[in-house]
A and B are shown apart, each in its own frame.
Chain A
Amino acid sequence: MSATRPGARWFTAAADDELTIFERSREGRRAFVAPELDVPRRPLDELLPGELRRAESPRLPEVSEPEINRHYNRLSKRNFDLDTGFYPLGSCTMKHNPKLHERVAALPGHAKLHPLQDPARAQGALELMWQLQQALAEIAGLPHVSLQPSAGSHGELAGVLLTRAYHEDRGEHRTKVLTPDTAHGTNPATVTMAGYEVVKVGTDERGNVDLDDLRAKADDDVACLMLTNPSTLGLFETGIDEVARIVHGIGATLYYDGANLNAIMGICRPGDMGFDIVHFNLHKSFTQPHGGGGPGAGPIAVSDRIEPFLPRPQVVRREASGNGAGEAYYDLDHERPKSIGRLRGFQGNYGVFVRSYAYIRSLGAAGLKEVSEVAVLNANYLLARLRAEGVLDQLPVAYDRLCMHEFVLSGSPMKRDLKIKTLDLAKRLLDHGVHPPTVYFPLIVDEALLVEPTETETKETLDGFAEVVAEILREAREDPEIARGAPYTTPVRRLDEAAAARNPVLRQP
């Protein structure tokens, strides 16, 4: 096989890069030096009886600091990352992570603050959270915000539990939640985890929620409809007013999955569309670095009628009495009789709030609107470039409409004519030093490729990507085997996922 790929190599490949930290371990090596014992030593048995102790210490590695340092540095170079290259992963909003954020998050007043510190001595933190709540409320168009949920799916869970509490408070017992067939997998998983039954609603040929199907399924046993707008197809739900009318007509709540907020900030607001509950992914639109798979945060904003049920504690602002005229005091409010309770310990992922707050303060009203305008501009431009390169002949856009911040292509014609699948295209992109778009999602598009460039990419980068895709298709026309065997130049080649699932090896023996 002769396939190579153009461009610079971005990883190092040395033979011992494959060793795990455990395999580098040598008895006696250490990095940690314990402080001297400065209290009288008591016999171990006195402090901790033998029957409570383990016989053998846990087999952690024995390595020196230089070795740990080199090991993880070299490991890092086996990762592709956003700081290094284009990452148009649809639905994930891989936008630039501003470096200021790490600096402010590391300030000891933020980073070394214990969660149970007296609120009177954590006013900076509580004010930051309160201000962030206000900003998110304004962006969503819904007045009441809880920062507690730890991730988008956690926010979704909160939303469905809030819905349940709302109905129970009215003496109603409903059993179903509607989700579109284009929904992200977390939606139906959340519904089941909250104790409801999932009912799927279809999508019409324009890529919108099928209103007839919705009307047929919207009965008074339905507690909620979960929706994303723009949808996971990257399309604005033009019938949203009618959707809201139908859902509210049966007394159900309308839930907004905020994964696609990047398209509409300052343009329109979910609260104005009629949504009762909105979740934000701070690791998407608000630049919390993805960290290779977390941490993130999934705050929620809700309408007046849902507010009483918000998780406890809530960050509130009180006008301090007797403290001097009108001095505000920020506090954690635990007195919430109708609250659904806690969803996690303490008050949420504060480190993420610091970064998101810094972002909102940096951009301001005009900046956030610009984010969405350029996100939508970049996506439409990339689509136009792909069309100009002839790519859409083999990978047509799934719905022939203006897209918003992302678009879905279907690799069906490519599979039929060029004999390579979306998966093969993705793997061949790896050889070009680009992270592939999201593949095989949404489920309703065959051989789906979901592309989201985000607003932080230059026009040149988008041009380059369109050219690379066109080149891969040209290559496949000559010899489809190349893409089918890709990647060739990455630290490892295609991995046997079936073997990993059949005979799982989940730790060092």
Chain B
Amino acid sequence: MAEPSYPGELLYHSEHDWARVDGDEAAFGITWYAQDALGEVVFFESPKVGSSVTKDEPYAEIESVKAVSDVFAPLSGEIVAVNDRLSDSPETVNEDPYGDGWLVRVKLSDPSETEQLMDAATYEASL
């Protein structure tokens, strides 16, 4: 994705991760800023379905040719799905960071944590 984009319907974490909340579940991914800083993503090792994630803690690593970065959980919960497409096409994270480039889907353990996240405008201003 060539131009910066921060969709309004998402919530954002200061470590450049987003959350799309849908009932008691949420999908996570990294923002346009993060994928731009990383460069072309070459590898993402998904954590296992069933493992738990904790808000503000790293739950995986994402690699480009020249960098490796922790991926931080914006919210806490249990992983119910991982994006299998990324093992064959990790560059999807660069091409469509908010859509097909999602990383994991999580069943939230404490939905009230969403209050601590930023909206698109606040996040973009923080960059």
A and B touch in the complex (CB under 8 A): yes
- A residues near B (Cβ < 8 Å) are 440, 497-498, 501-502
Interface on chain A toward B: helix, strand, loop, or mixed SS? Answer: helix
Is B42 an interface residue, CB under 8 A from the partner? yes
- B residues near A (Cβ < 8 Å) are 39-40, 42-43, 63-66, 90-91
Residues in A whose Cβ lies below 8 Å from that of B91: 498, 502
Closest CB in chain A relative to B38 CB, distance in Å: 11
Residues in A whose Cβ lies below 8 Å from that of B40: 498
Give complex CA distance A37, B86 in Å.
57
Instruction: Find the B residue at minimum CB distance from A423.
Output: B66
15 contacts between A and B (CB under 8 A): A440-B66, A497-B65, A498-B39, A498-B40, A498-B42, A498-B64, A498-B65, A498-B91, A501-B42, A501-B63, A501-B64, A501-B65, A502-B43, A502-B90, A502-B91
Residues in A whose Cβ lies below 8 Å from that of B43: 501-502
Closest CB in chain A relative to B11 CB, distance in Å: 30
Give complex CA distance A501, B41 in Å.
9
Give complex CA distance A498, B66 in Å.
9
Give complex CA distance A502, B87 in Å.
9
Closest CB in chain A relative to B90 CB, distance in Å: 6
Give complex CA distance A502, B90 in Å.
8
Closest 3 CB pairs of A and B: A501-B42, A498-B40, A502-B42
Give complex CA distance A502, B92 in Å.
12
Give complex CA distance A497, B43 in Å.
13
Closest CB in chain B relative to A362 CB, distance in Å: 40
Closest CB in chain B relative to A281 CB, distance in Å: 24
Give complex CA distance A440, B65 in Å.
14
Give complex CA distance A304, B57 in Å.
44
Residues in A whose Cβ lies below 8 Å from that of B63: 501
Closest CB in chain B relative to A501 CB, distance in Å: 4
Give complex CA distance A440, B91 in Å.
23
Closest CB in chain A relative to B124 CB, distance in Å: 21
Residues in A whose Cβ lies below 8 Å from that of B66: 440
Closest CB in chain A relative to B25 CB, distance in Å: 30
Closest CB in chain A relative to B79 CB, distance in Å: 24
Residues in A whose Cβ lies below 8 Å from that of B64: 498, 501
Residues in B whose Cβ lies below 8 Å from that of A497: 65
Give complex CA distance A501, B63 in Å.
9
Give complex CA distance A381, B91 in Å.
45
Give complex CA distance A262, B73 in Å.
46
Instruction: Find the A residue at minimum CB distance from B39.
Output: A498
Residues in B whose Cβ lies below 8 Å from that of A501: 42-43, 63-65
Closest CB in chain A relative to B6 CB, distance in Å: 24
Residues in B whose Cβ lies below 8 Å from that of A498: 39-40, 42, 64-65, 91
Residues in A whose Cβ lies below 8 Å from that of B90: 502
Given A497-B65, A501-B43, A501-B63; 12 other pairs, CB 8 A cutoff: A440-B66, A498-B39, A498-B40, A498-B42, A498-B64, A498-B65, A498-B91, A501-B42, A501-B64, A501-B65, A502-B42, A502-B90
Closest CB in chain A relative to B5 CB, distance in Å: 22
Instruction: Find the B residue at minimum CB distance from A497.
Output: B65
Give complex CA distance A501, B42 in Å.
6
Give complex CA distance A502, B39 in Å.
13
Give complex CA distance A497, B40 in Å.
10
- Most A C-beta atoms less than 10 A away, residue of B42, B63, B66, B91: B42
